[in-house]
Chains A and B, each alone.
Chain A
Amino acid sequence: MRRRRRSRADRITSLALLVVLLGVLFPFIWMIVGSISPRWDAGWFNPLTEKPSWSNYADLFGVMPFGRYLFNSAVVAAVVTLGNVLLCFPVGYALARRRFRGRGLLYGAAALVLMVPQYVLIVPLFALIHGLGWYDTLWAITIPLLVHPLGVLLVKGAVSTVPIEVEEAARLDGAGPWRIVYRIVMPICRPTLAVLAVQVFWLTWNAFLFPFILTGDRARTLPVALAMFRGYQGVDRPHLFAAATLATLPVIVVFLFFQRQIISGLTAGAVKR
């Protein structure tokens, strides 16, 4: 009897959630429908009487240097993601396994840097990037983000759970330190690295503040270009929504493939394990 009552409550909950979900997704539906709208001023059109205009997507490349923005975003996200996986690993490993002078200091620095809000650094970072001659280049928005402190701390946690015997056996077999780090320990930590990779990809692809401050028109990424759209003649609502849809797509695809990693990345630290 208890069972039947619960299942009816569940059905009502499901129905209510469905209604709420449609409301939540409405802006996305509107964005996508608006992106194939044949009329420049319309956010909505009747698909029964009007033909969707897919050419809005192709037009993007004509009304603004959209291809370049897409390329910039892709390169930056790929390099920063790969860099974080490859470079955070030895650091996290050293923090977990080696005793050396400055270890405590570095560990503290990783934790502290996570606490400093980005906006404190925008003025001096802008000056520094200018001084290096990197303003409006892809260097400016990749190099400073190559080793994220979050990654260092994640890796340190993961390496700590790897039994030390694995390394000792490899050392007895004559493996050098680099071989041990990259060939022996790193593959064992693959799940953590997957979490790190998708998290960094997501943050980098969507980032606004740093790319906005550090780039002009040449090295601009998609989100920055979208925020600046007012500067382009001929970018109307359907085109804008087409660009916004293209900026959203990679994240949705990555999410569908790596749901579990994304969720554990976002909830890391929230729950005491």
Chain B
Amino acid sequence: MTDPNPPAHADRTAWVLVSPWVLILGLFWVYPFLYALALAFAQFDVFSGQWHWVGVANFAAVLVNSEFWRAVGHTVIFTAGTVPVTTALAILLALALNRRLWGRAIFRAGFFAPTLTATVVTALVFLHLYAQGGYLYRLAELAGIPVPERGFLLSEKTALAAVMVMDIWVSVGYYTLLFLAGLQTIPAELVDDALMHGASGWQRFWAITWPYLRPTLLYALVINLIKSFQVFTEMFVMTRGGPLGATTTAVYHVYSAGFERFDLGYASAAAFVLFALIAIVTVIQFRFFAFGRGAEE
């Protein structure tokens, strides 16, 4: 980190410079965070404003709640189903778009369009595409795939998968962009050199492209995993967690505990347990990739 020597007299004005950020950070981020932490250890009555300290009882309630674990399970299925597919498709698309193609700019903008659009908008459009008689529904019928009677989102068996397919559709463009940026860091001389020595496509990919893609891959996996663990808006717009809880993910569980049942202590504790789960998985990812890279270099 470059840090040019600052002038010595600057101390006082520095605090004036940072004061707006300190105010907003303190009031709207740090204070709510501490408040959330306090809530997790209390029973708070919304109507009377009474606090009852209950220690770790909320956490215990979360950990023994089968509904919570079912929601975590849905979140894990969602993540395990979407992240690898999205990543693989994005790498393939990025490799294709990195060639000198006709209309490359149009392709980039077009594939990126779903990412630009508000989640609420895409969720609404897919809500209608998945409905009975919607285009995706009819397409599946034509293809001879057995379709649920009332549309994909109203069937317990297909609802989660339907949301996952939409999520892949939304995110592929963004990760394609990341991988394209990664591909652009490859020095052209390396590729020319490999071509001159008659390296095949596969050889070039494994010897040159792959090592340069690895940092981007780690970033993409970490970001995508954190985002997938927090999936909420899609469920809120398309299924409200249903049918029969089939699409209730962890954040939806937190939301409904807090804003539908007003059990704020429980909601807060569940939020922190989920936060901890995300942190653990992220650390594992970093370890896993750090080892791999160390062995290679």
Interface, chain A (partner B; CB < 8 A): 9-11, 13-14, 16-18, 21, 24-28, 30-31, 34, 43-44, 87-88, 90-91, 93-101, 103, 106, 109, 113, 116-128, 143-144, 146-147, 149, 152, 160-161, 164, 171, 177, 181, 202, 205-206, 208-209, 212-213, 222-224, 226-227, 229, 237, 240-241, 244, 247-248, 251-252, 255-256, 259, 262-263, 266-267, 269-272
Supposing A25-B113, A120-B36 touch, asked if A30 and B22 sit within 8 A by C-beta, the answer is no
Query: 18 A-B Cβ contacts within 8 A?
Result: A10-B101, A91-B18, A91-B21, A93-B17, A94-B18, A96-B3, A98-B17, A99-B14, A100-B14, A106-B22, A117-B226, A128-B35, A206-B118, A247-B120, A247-B121, A252-B116, A266-B177, A270-B178
Cβ contact within 8 Å between A14 and B101: yes
**Is B272 part of the contact surface with A, judged by Cβ < 8 Å?**
yes
Q: Which residue of A lies closest to B267 (CB)?
A: A123
* Chain A interface, DSSP helix/strand/loop, else mixed: helix
* Chain B interface, DSSP helix/strand/loop, else mixed: helix
Interchain Cβ contacts within 8 Å, total number: 256
Q: Shortest CB–CB separation between residue B1 and chain A, in angstroms?
A: 8
How distant is the Cα of A44 from the Cα of B230 in the complex, in angstroms? 34
Which of A27, A222, A251, A256 is within 8 Å of B125, CB to CB?
A27
Within 8 Å CB of B69, what residues of A? Answer: none
**Is B107 part of the contact surface with A, judged by Cβ < 8 Å?**
yes
How many residues in B have their beta carbons less than 8 Å from beta carbons of A?
Answer: 92
Within 8 Å CB of B7, what residues of A? Answer: 171
A-B pairs with the 9 shortest C-beta distances?
Answer: A124-B35, A144-B28, A206-B118, A98-B14, A124-B32, A100-B14, A90-B17, A94-B17, A223-B120
**Is B128 part of the contact surface with A, judged by Cβ < 8 Å?**
yes
How distant is the Cα of A180 from the Cα of B30 in the complex, in angstroms? 30
Give residues of chain B (44-90) contacting chain A, Cβ–Cβ below 8 Å.
none
How distant is the Cα of A117 from the Cα of B36 in the complex, in angstroms? 12
Within 8 Å CB of A14, what residues of B? Answer: 101-103
Give residues of chain B (18-32) contacting chain A, Cβ–Cβ below 8 Å.
18, 20-22, 24-25, 27-32
